[in-house]
Amino acid sequence: MTDPIADYLTRLRNAMKAGHRIVEIPSSKMKREITKVLHDKGYIQSYKFVDEGVQGSIKIALKYNPATKASAIVKLERISKPGLRKYASVDEMPRVLNGLGIAILSTSKGIMTDKEARNQNVGGEVLCHVY
């Protein structure tokens, strides 16, 4: 696998379209941090890190609107790819849906959202947009 982050996002996207409540994804440090950001911002209901075997896994409980059965995440979009990395400084930090969505960045201070990166005055690699 050349792009584990794209695989992570695709598994989430496929599980939401199929209407699954729980999705299991192979674990890594970056995927764990992205999962924590998604949970903190209210895009997923809960998560659990399972440390079985060599790699371990992440079990994510997806969040749906009870009335409309629509997913809390409308779109997951990979921005920086292995073939073409996208970096942003503090001045050119992306705003997703004019501030309604989030951009997840990998910075020197860890994985964080675009708003947190602006507050801490750091730039980094734009991993994905979520809204």
> Which residues of the chain fall short of a pLDDT of 50?
none
Cα–Cα distance for residue pair 45/72, rounded to 1 Å: 9
11 and 53 belong to one structural domain: yes
Of 21, 36, 62, at which residue does a domain stop? Answer: 62
Segments forming the whole domain that contains residue 84: 76-130
Please tell me the total count of domains within the chain. 2
Predicted pLDDT at 53: 86
Kindly state whether residues 54 and 82 are assigned to the same domain: no
pLDDT at residue number 68? 92
Q: Which of 16, 35, 62 is the last residue of a domain?
A: 62
- pLDDT value, residue 1: 78
